[in-house]
């Protein structure tokens, strides 16, 4: 490990950046150095700009992928190298605003029925029942289940914050059946490596398999279940602020985007066309049949 890599890793560690973020930042800086075959210490804003052009024009990366590279380089030059030029001026690509594709309750049920492994069904059911991120679901411990208070403890979720979420009676029943069959010790969902939890990759593969079996045309990832959790709560009239707390969102604005996909708020709104008086028929003859 080079001294620069070691220092950057230490800088990220003392700021308590998430492990996934640290790993991603190191990969991005390594790719930057390999592209020029030169240490980042000897490069400046012009090389950063050239690299961004390469990512856009040659690699054809999406704005979200380029944003990760920019964030890594900003951290490197601002925090670790403390360059006199302004790293914050490295342009961040504008991300297109996209609404998540939401599964209906019926589709969630159909999807979960297509998960044949008891372990995989339990973890995916937990992601939907409690609105968990996949990293939060994989790191659940047996001791995080509080059946007395019917609560689920999420330890050190995103932004290094603990929170409690409701423990669904139906989920508790599923988890008890799963526990009796496998008797996990520390991690609720242990992985193939002894002493380690199940990997995000393994959950993703299980999700893909169930998606194929379900025949659902909409795209489905483990995070789709978290989106469905928030949207279905909104459609049942749960307060946005309460949903924010359950999901562990730092900003209420992140939670309110689900208002844009909640059918109870969109479809229940009357169109102004329906408020107009009756409109007379057109002069042309109406068609005999319709495809609608």
Q: Which residues are catalytic?
A: 133, 158, 223, 226, 249, 258
CA distance 10 to 5: 9
Determine the Cα angle at 165 with ends 195 and 112, to 5°: 70
* Residue 237 CB-half CA count within 13 A: 1
CA Rg value for the chain: 24
Judge contact between 250 and 159, C-beta under 8 A.
yes
89: left (phi over 0), alpha (psi -120 to 50) or beta: alpha
For the record, the structure tokens of 11 come out as 């800088």
Residues 6+ apart with CB under 8 A from 258: 227, 230, 231, 234, 243
């Amino acid at each position: 490990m080079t001294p620069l890599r070691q220092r950057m890793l230490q800088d990220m560690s003392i700021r308590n950046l998430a492990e996934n973020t640290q790993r991603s930042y190191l990969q991005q800086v390594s790719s930057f150095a390999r592209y020029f075959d030169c240490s980042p210490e000897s490069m400046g804003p012009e090389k950063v700009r050239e690299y961004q052009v390469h990512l856009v024009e040659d690699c054809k990366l999406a704005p979200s992928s380029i944003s990760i590279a920019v964030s890594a380089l900003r951290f490197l030059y601002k925090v670790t190298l403390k360059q006199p030029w302004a790293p914050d001026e490295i342009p961040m690509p504008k991300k297109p605003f996209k609404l998540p594709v939401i599964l209906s309750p019926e589709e969630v049920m159909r999807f979960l029925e297509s998960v044949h492994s008891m372990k995989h069904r339990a973890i995916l059911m937990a992601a939907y029942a409690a609105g968990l991120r996949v990293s939060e679901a994989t790191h659940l411990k047996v001791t995080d289940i509080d059946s007395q208070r019917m609560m689920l403890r999420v330890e050190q979720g995103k932004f290094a914050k603990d929170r409690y979420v409701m423990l669904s009676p139906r989920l508790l029943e599923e988890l008890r059946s799963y526990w009796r069959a496998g008797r996990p010790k520390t991690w609720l969902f242990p992985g193939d490596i002894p002493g380690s939890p199940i990997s995000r990759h393994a959950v993703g593969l299980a999700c893909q398999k169930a998606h194929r079996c379900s025949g659902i045309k909409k795209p489905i990832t483990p995070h789709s279940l978290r989106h469905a959790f928030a949207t279905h709560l909104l459609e049942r009239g749960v307060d946005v602020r309460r949903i924010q707390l359950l999901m562990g969102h730092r900003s209420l604005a992140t939670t309110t985007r689900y208002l844009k996909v909640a059918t109870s708020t969109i479809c229940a709104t009357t169109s102004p066309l329906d408020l107009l008086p009756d409109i007379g028929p057109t002069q042309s003859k109406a068609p005999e049949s319709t495809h609608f």
